[in-house]
Structures are given as structure tokens and as C-alpha cells.
Structure 1
């Protein structure tokens, strides 16, 4: 294959699906374009179910970005017009040779190591030549471009902390292994995630300027068009790319024009006051929401060629900047009441600013960038929004409904329902769904000792991240090299190995890997009795409040959770073990109660679930939380079968906690006997205060460790 053919093959392999050919959500396209027009907006988080072209559209955006001027040979992409005085490759003299290159889209994989993200000492040169040289990481590569994190919610916490620091300071800092480096790292952060796999930490969520919710279209015609275009592209990418080349070029020109007109857009006092009123009305935390909304409104005005910000610009910006910042409970989905937004904005335009020079209307020139291509409307994959709206937000969109979840109790006005449950008022009809009582704040509980589970925020563990606490010989497994320990192991053998000059002769046996101590996550499996004996409304509300409190703690500590329920004649794995505690909270909210009590079936289902999960994830330590009054009334020999199931669980070494939901003056004590067979801790419902419940879990976890 000649050189030209090789280049053509490489170009075909790197070609992405055209941005203007994607079918679906205009909201996502608008958010990506606004943050491209004004990088100060702060990036975009795209939330949506799998298979909705999130990654496809982000990668397609890179081809539309304006090129950047960089100093030739600078590994940190310094701007010739304003070089970084602290650049590790500097100082750059005035008039240094410059070159122009396309803006970079740097992808941060979920499994990236800390060294790959922030950079590290050049190990080869350090060991062979004795030279201390810094090797830049992904943050340096993303400077003045896009940093794309797919499945950002699955990123390890220590990498999230690095991103937070870099996004807040605009600089990457390395202090390790004798290297002290700081470099510019200003980038637009674009993340995609599937909420079913777990939520983001609030600190990182707030760093994204805009957020978008997308879903697969339900219209068969739209779905057919998605498949039609994708199949055409897979069969002949060159032809499809050529078909949309004009639309891509027009869109790129419009982005450049909007960037040029951005500095001349005026944000009047009336518009600024309206933005502040909107943010205050939605009770957002902090002032970042006001700043992001203002910047996005200015970018939206520039995108539409206006010289000052209007009501339409404020509405578009608020819809994208506020949903993930409004004050909400942990299990509330992000969303915005658009009817309330319209009432706050009113029908009047904000007072225009004083007359000034007109903005060049060139951004409106390529108005056909969002028009319909020859083969159909230009829309984006994975949304229900109408096509052909030119990335505008003026069309009426379906209101995002907020799930009904319990608000946290005010300790000054609300009695502790867990400590003083309301007496049961009698069983409810079979299938009754009770509300959730007021959840309470649980304490932090950890496992004593040091485990070896998945990275999380719960218990101490030896993990792939965290602070270095020691070194271990290299035995074929991967990991970060402990440089100091490796040098120390190789140093005594240099004369025998014939070293005569600088550098270090290192053998395989000298390599040492860093032992890092961080935090692990646990698996909390709830096994909840939903039979008729539990169906009394006050009792079930107290049960749901206790479980919801532990779910809240699991959400904050990055635990994995699962939910088994049993009622009638069978048990059901209502929620397989997952990192999405939001899904568990929704299942708990909709949990019906009534019928007989198949306790044995519930315990057997829990045992099977834990065995399967142990095969999938053997390092994660489980805790089984059985929520029941101890009755067993379903099937022949129900009591004996439940005892045998409990004894079998205990024999497998499963850590367990029995939460006794029996109330009233006369009690049978069945749950206490169940706890004995399970070798589990026992907590009566009357003692389910936050301190009592979480301390019991901590005590049992410590015993397991």
C-alpha cells in the first residue's frame, strides 16, 4: 500500500458521523454549540439512556471547532498572542514561530490512571539517563480544546478530584516523585452518562455549565430515519460525509461568526436582573448558576445574531443551566418547571441597553446551517424533540416531571418518626402502596481494618487509587511503578551489572509497584417483607423511611445496592445490584404490600443474588439487611424452611442485619429468633434512630472485617 493510500485509509478510519446528520434532540446540539461559541459557559453534561448517540454527537462536534494558533514545538499549546509565562516548555520569546492546528478533542477513559491524567516523570529517561523530565498528561493535551469523559459518573473519585481542581483553577499541578510542575489547563469539559449506572457527585455536577437530558425517540418514523442514516454511513461513509459537507461547513462558519460577535453582545441591567430573579426563584445554591446563565444567554444571543440579550435568550439559557443546580433531594431527578420559568420571565422583554454600534449580522448569514438537508430534516439521535428547529429552544418542549420524593425532616419542627413510630392502624388491602416516612440523616459507618474492594468512599481498602502507603514486588500484574522503591532495589546491583556511566541499570526483579490505600464501596442488599402483616400504613412508612435513609447514605458513599421483596407466595429481585440508588429509591416508593409472608423464599432469593454477585464482583463485601417482623406464613412448613434458609446464609459467612418491624404492646419476638439463625445483628423498629441503625451496621461490618 503506497503512502497516499495509507493516508486515505487513516482519514477514513478517523472520519466521524456528521454533526448535521444526527437525528433527534435539538437541546443537546444547542448546548454543545453554546459552549463552543463561549467556552466560559463551562462545558456540557449529557444525561441519557444507552444508545442515544451521545458519544457520536460529541465526537462530531470536534470537526466544527475553529482552529487554534499554537507556538511551534510547545507541548502545552501556548497561544502565540498570550503565552503562559509559567509554561514548562517556556519561556517563549516574542515572535516565536507559530502554527495553526485543529482544536483537539481529548477523550478521558474511565480506566485512566492518575499518571495518565496529570502527567508524571518520564520513567525511561529517569532510569536510563538520570534526567528528570516531565511527561504531560491528558489535561495538558486538552488545553484550549475539549476534554470528553464518556461515562463520567463511573470515573474514580480521585480522578474526579483532579478534574475539579483543574476546572476550577484553569491549571494542572503535579507534585510527586521530585517533580513540581504547573501548566495551563483551560478546557471545555463535556461529559456523557447513563443515570441508571449511578449519579455524579454534586461537586462535579456543578462544574458542568449546562446539562441536557436525552432519550430515544418514540416516533417510529424518527427511529426508522436514525437506522436508515446509520446504515448508509456504515456502508459508504465518504458518500454520506459528502452529502452533509455543505451543511457542516455552514454550521462551522456560523460558529465562527458567533464567536466573533460574542464580545459585542450587551447584557443589559434589565436582563441581568431577570436572570437573578429566575435563579433566586428556583432556589439554586451559590452564584455559579447566575454566572453560567448570564454567559449562556449572551452566547445564545450571539448565535442568533442579536446585539443584546432578550427574554428568549434568558429562557434558553435557564433551561440548560439550572436543572442540575436547583435545590433537590438526593433521589430527585434533575429537571425544571418550565411553566414556572415562563411565569417568572413574564411576557415583557427586559429593558434594552442604550443604543450602540450594531453587531455584524453575519452570524445569521448561514441561516440554512440548521435547515433540512436533501434527504430529510437535520436532527440529533436520541431525543423526542422535533427536527428542523435550528438548535433553537423556542419550541415548546415536554415538561420534565419531578418524581414525588420525601423531603428531609426539619429536626426543629418534625418529630423523629423512626424513634417514635405511629402505632399501626391495621392491615391495608393487598397491593396497597404506602407513602415514605420522613428519612433521617445516618452516620458514617465503615468496616474496621483494610479491605481490597472496589474504589468508593466507604471503608479503608487497598485499591488502584489513593495515597501511596508502600511498595510490592512486580509479579506480572499491572499498576503504578513506585519509582523510589524501584531505584532503591536496583542501586545495590549497579557495580555487578557493569554500570560505568550515568543512568541506572534496572532489571525486572527490581521493579516495585505502589501499594495505594483509598476507600472501598460495599454492596448493601435489602430484603424487604411486603406481606400483609407489614401493610399497616404507619408501619410501612417507618420501614421505607429507614431503608431510604440507608439508601441516602449509600448514594453518598458510592455503595452498590440491591432490593429483594417478598409477599404473597414468592420473592422478587425488584432491583438487581446496581450503583443507581436513585432507581432503588423509585422501586421502594412504589413498593406494594399485602398477602402472605414467604420469608424462606425471600432469604433464598437474597442468598442466590449474593452468590451471583460474588462471582461477578468477588472483592466487594456485602451486607444483607432483612426488613421483616419475622413471620413466615406462606407454604407448607414455612417456619422450618425459613430457619433452614437463615442457617444456610449464616454458614456462607454473609454479614446480615435484621430490622424488626413488629410493633404493639404484645410481640412474638420472631424477628429476634430469625437474627439468631442468621447470626445477624438485631434492631427493633422502635430503636431505628439514625445513630442506632447506622451504629449497628458499623458494628456488624467491623465484625466481618
Structure 2
């Protein structure tokens, strides 16, 4: 604790916040089927917490949360110092514990210990910073005049599991807190007159749906293991999952009782594996093999080597062996390497298992027989349940790995991919039947590149992101507001300063507690970063069929998406061709889905310009409902022709007027080459947009145009003129 800091009072340990006890309505871990990789990863990190936690990625409805919560029931109990709110280990108490020093008992030479169940602490996505790291106890500070630190979730999760559902949606400032705790093993609080540091070594478990956005690389690397889960495709297995879930919902207590023996056996096996961990031998040649595997998959850093080695040792201990085998190394590599071998956000996760088998070489001789684990009791139908994480002779992960991704992401070819009639002149007349058929082409995007960061002047009020300065609800406190905002965070020092001059007039005397009134309350002004939405509307008709143009457009979209991934922006893509417009990429930050959708965009056919603009207006309207403070920018890439449907030109101008009246900031990139008719320029007038003539739409040219006309860039362009004035 720093010098001059007020003493922090101690109090009896309160109930653990967000800790889940073993309650009867928790689905049994040994009853979960169809998620072998996830179960194995959770077991390994439980056997050896040094492995570093688990990230579970998968589609919705795959029992990710159910399995993680069920793990708490089978965790061995934990010995802690009695009365310590920070769960200090009696064998090695933290010398800097805020509740210390922990005095040793004379007979044992250790502090008085007690045993409690292991904790699974849940960190909500919308948690506040003071709830995570702890804060000043306002009741004690304002009511009794004492400074007392109230521990947060990181303190409650010490020596336990910290679970974050939808971890990819966690705000950046909370991610920073988790990174600090994971890197140092301690949580430090320096705020509101409190200076406290305590141990915070936890196993981080996160679940996420990749379609909702990716995880920051820094936090992704902090997860030791990762598991991909998907719904089983076998009808019999799917039926068994539904059967067990329905039986649990009908009578949770009876269903849990049926698996009580299996749960106890699984918990005993975990304790045995933990005790055996120190005796497992990892030879030098096996360590060299692990290094060769990590080098062959081109993983970044050396954490992958360390995690793979630790996971292989834990896998051997889980199977009751004291020597690591190639099967242990293979199981560890499958879970430790996929999320570390990704070179950029557009690379799909996964591992080439054929290459892994080649690196491992021939299988070793069969190891000594393993002890037969106990089988779970009969299920609700009276028969033996199929192999489960606690019952399979091979343990979790014995089955085949789940599919790399949901089949839903593989869309069948749309009707727009059929051949269409050639493009007529820019008259807007009805389509005329022709004998010739123009084949549809498909251009691929080039290599994405990093873009520069442009920020707006002043402070905005957009959605939380990492681009421009903004007043948000998440970030750091930069001041206090005299008018309390509903739901705002109380700024305690400013509140006390406002009330202090009024104490004499309010009749406060001596050691009486501080007298507060409503007008004294101050809320904190939080400064963070805002994000933006860039909606690309691309003409993919026959007049844009030049492969070089479409490649440039797709490359720019991928580059903007890469920047959006890093800056927490959103990017969307609308294409129009033939007779309709398509939302090829809904506004998203999920780069994996975006890359697949962009590759599927064809070009050829007529130009339904009005349909493209109307779909853009509807997309922005829906996004405005979801994110009312996110500033959009419409980027229309076209040559201005409108040739599909009756009265095509007039309808496109009316659609442009709707966008202009809605106040949408727009840019028209004119792709007309040679002797032009000025159609795109006319369209930009009706759209109220900036007209940018571009003969050849190169990717770098298009990107620079987008950057020049973003609201941030336009604002920054005014700085020289303002400075001169």
C-alpha cells in the first residue's frame, strides 16, 4: 500500500459475489454428450491450472454455458485461510494480502484454515469496472466515515475459475483489466482514495459465438486451450441430448441423483490426476518434438510450446500415466495451437491434423493398462447412457473433433449467380430480350492491408469503440458532472468536495458523519472511444464486370473490415445486379464471416440502382435502431447507370432523396471510364453526396477516398483553417 493512503479497515469475509454453489438445478457434467473437445479442455485446465484457461468457440445452442457451469460441481474443494476475503492459501499465504498479515497457529505453523467448495465466478459482459476490480465501500465511507475496500470479482475468482459468457462482446476497458491480472497474477486498485493490491490467479474460461465478432489477439493468446463446438450431426446423438435435457427439466433433483455416482467418480479422478501431476515425466526428446510442431505451424511466441507441454503432462496424469506419450502430445496440440497459428483475422481457425500426424511420426507402443474409470448410473430410460466426459474409458476428447464450422455459413449459390442479359445503354428503358447471354464472373479480393487511423476533433457521443474520442459509459473518468445522470457512476471525491463547504450550515458538529443532500451528488464523466459504421454499396452489374475493378473494391472492403476489427468499427456490404440488391455482408465485426461473404459476390447483368439505394436506407434504419449513436458513412461505388425495371432513373433519384433527407453522410465514387455521361455526378446531387471521379478503381485509391470523406477526416481537415483563424 502506498504511503499516505488511509488505512483500509477489515471486515468478516462476505459471501462470494457471483459464485455458483453446487445447486441441484445445475446440469451434471458427466451427463453432457457431444462436446468431447470442450470437456477435455476443461478437464485439462482443471487438472493443471497452469495450462491457462479455455476458450470455447461455437454456434449458438451447443451447451457451452451449461457445460462450463456444470464443471463447478466436480471441482475438488479448496483450503483457504479462515476469514480471508481473498482466498489465501494456508500453505502459502499472500504476504501483501489486504486482510493480512495471516498469523500462523503455534501447533501447525500455518494460519487457521477452512475448506470451501471451489468457485466458478461469472463476469457479466455489462459489468462495471468497480464491480470487477473492487471499489470503496460507499456505505462505510458516507455512513461511518471509514475507508473500507470492497473486493470485486477478480478477488472472488482467486484460485478458482472466472467465467465470461460471450467474452468477445466484453468492453475493451474490462479486457484490459483481465489482461493485467492474467499477466501479473495480481489486481491493483488505484482509485477514489484507495490503494490496494491483491493476488488474482484464476483460470479464465470464456465462451463465444464467432458470428458476433472476434476476440482481441492479446486476450485470445491468454487462453491456454481452445475448443471448437458444433451441434452433433448424428440424429441418434442429437436425440439423446434432447432426451437428457427434457428429463432434467422434468425433475432436476431426480436426474442429478442418477448421475451422483458418476459425478463423485469424476471428482475423485480429478483429485488423483492433480496428485499425480508432479510425477509425470516429459522427456527432452518429447519437448523437442513439441517445439518442432509449434515451429512447423508457425505459431507466434513461445507460449504455445509451454502450454502444449503442460497440457500433454496434464493429459497423461488424467489418464493415470506417469510418462507422456505421443497421444498426449497430439491431444494437447489440437487444443493449444489452433488459435495461435492464425496469421491475421481473415485466417479461419483450425489445425491441419494430417500435418500434425506427419510431425508426430509412428505411434509408440501401447502404454501400460490404465485403471478402468467408473461408469455413470442408468439414465431416465433405464439404460446405460452413451459415452460421457466422466464415463468414457478414453476420457474426454476420445471422439472425433467437431466440424471446423457450422454448415449454415456455407450458403448455396443464389439465383443471382445465373447468367443474365447484357447491359444496355444508360437510358433507363425496359429490359429488352436478347439472344446473347453474358456469363457471370467472380472476382477475388487481393491481400488486405493496414489503414491509417483518423480521428475526429473534439469529443463525440458515439458507441464505444477505438477510433474517436467520445463521452461513453465505459472508459476512464476524466471529470464530474454537476447534474447526476440516470445510471451514471457516482464520483465520490467530487461529491464530498461539493458537500464539505455546507457542513457548518447544515449543523454538523464534531465527529458526526458527513451530511449529504441530493444537490451534492456528482456523477463521473467517462471518456472512451467511439466506433463508426461504413456501409459499402457496390454496383456489381455488367458495366462493372472488369475483374480489376471488382478485385479493387473487394480488397478495399477487406482492408476496411480489418481496420474495423482492430478499431471496433462495423462494416457492411450491399451489392446490386440483375433485378435486385443483396445484403452480402450485414453490418458486423466478424471478419471470418465477412471474408467468406465477400468472396461469394459475383458480378454481371443489369443495374438495379434504386433497389441498392433502398436496401441501404433500410439497412441503415435498422442499424440506427440497434446503435442509435453510431455514425454511418455510405460509400456508393457505381458509374451512375440505372437500367433495371420501369422508370429506373426516376426511382433511383427518389431513393437517393430518401437517404439525403435522412441525413446520411455519403460519398459517390464514379467508376465511369472514357467519355462519360455524368450520370454518377447527377446522382450525387440527388444524394447530397460528395462526387469523386475515379477512372480506375484501384484499392488504394478507393480507400484513400473513403478516409478523406469520413466524418473524422472531414473534421480533421478543418483544423488548419481553424488554427489559421
Q: Considering the TM-score relative to the shorter chain, is it more than 0.5?
A: yes
2:625 aligned partner: 615
Shift in Å, 1:369: 5.0
Shift in Å, 1:380: 7.1
Shift in Å, 1:182: 0.7
Shift in Å, 1:453: 1.8
Shift in Å, 1:38: 0.1
2:229 aligned partner: 214
Pair 98,380 (structure 1): closer, same or farther in 2 beyond 3 Å = closer
Structure 1 regions of 5+ residues with no counterpart?
1-9, 353-357, 382-386, 405-426
2:75 aligned partner: 65
1:266 aligned partner: 281
Shift in Å, 1:279: 0.1
2:119 to 104, 110, 117: 104
Does the 8 Å contact 2:277/2:317 carry over to 1?
yes
User: Where do 1:660-675 residues align within 5 Å?
Assistant: 660-663=670-673, 665-675=674-684
Distance 1:629 1:369 in 2: 69
Structure 2 regions of 5+ residues with no counterpart?
1-19, 106-110, 410-435, 716-725
Is 1:596 matched up with 2:606?
yes
Shift in Å, 1:371: 9.5
1:124 to 114, 139, 163: 139
Pair 351,612 (structure 1): closer, same or farther in 2 beyond 3 Å = closer
1:144 aligned partner: 159
Shift in Å, 1:466: 1.5
1:325 to 340, 343, 346: 340
1:367 aligned partner: 373
| Count of residue correspondences | 659
2:666 aligned partner: 656
Pair 399,258 (structure 1): closer, same or farther in 2 beyond 3 Å = same
2:493 aligned partner: 484
1:519 aligned partner: 529
Pair 298,371 (structure 1): closer, same or farther in 2 beyond 3 Å = farther
Pair 223,194 (structure 1): closer, same or farther in 2 beyond 3 Å = same
Is 1:298 matched up with 2:313?
yes
Partner secondary structure for residue 460 of structure 1: strand
Pair 608,401 (structure 1): closer, same or farther in 2 beyond 3 Å = closer
User: Where do 1:399-478 residues align within 5 Å?
Assistant: 400=404, 429-475=438-484, 477-478=486-487
Shift in Å, 1:628: 2.0
Distance 1:695 1:482 in 2: 43
Pair 232,395 (structure 1): closer, same or farther in 2 beyond 3 Å = closer
Is 1:391 matched up with 2:411?
no
Does the 8 Å contact 2:281/2:322 carry over to 1?
yes
User: Where do 1:214-363 residues align within 5 Å?
Assistant: 214-347=229-362, 349=364
Distance 2:270 2:662 in 1: 62
Alpha-carbon deviations, 1:480-535, whole Å to 9, x = none?
Answer: 11111111111122123222224311222211110111101212222121211222
Partner secondary structure for residue 535 of structure 2: strand
Shift in Å, 1:702: 3.2
Shift in Å, 1:704: 7.4
Shift in Å, 1:85: 0.2
Q: What TM-score does the superposition give when structure 2 sets the normalisation length?
A: 0.86
Partner secondary structure for residue 613 of structure 2: helix
Is 1:700 matched up with 2:710?
yes
1:422 aligned partner: none
Does the 8 Å contact 1:554/1:561 carry over to 2?
yes
1:3 aligned partner: none
Distance 1:372 1:555 in 2: 48
1:56 aligned partner: 66
Shift in Å, 1:177: 1.5
1:560 aligned partner: 570
Q: What TM-score does the superposition give when structure 1 sets the normalisation length?
A: 0.88
Shift in Å, 1:388: 4.3
Does the 8 Å contact 2:537/2:635 carry over to 1?
yes
Shift in Å, 1:289: 0.4
Shift in Å, 1:675: 3.0
Is 1:18 matched up with 2:28?
yes
- RMSD in angstroms over aligned alpha carbons? 2.7
Pair 239,554 (structure 1): closer, same or farther in 2 beyond 3 Å = same
1:531 aligned partner: 541
Pair 549,213 (structure 1): closer, same or farther in 2 beyond 3 Å = same
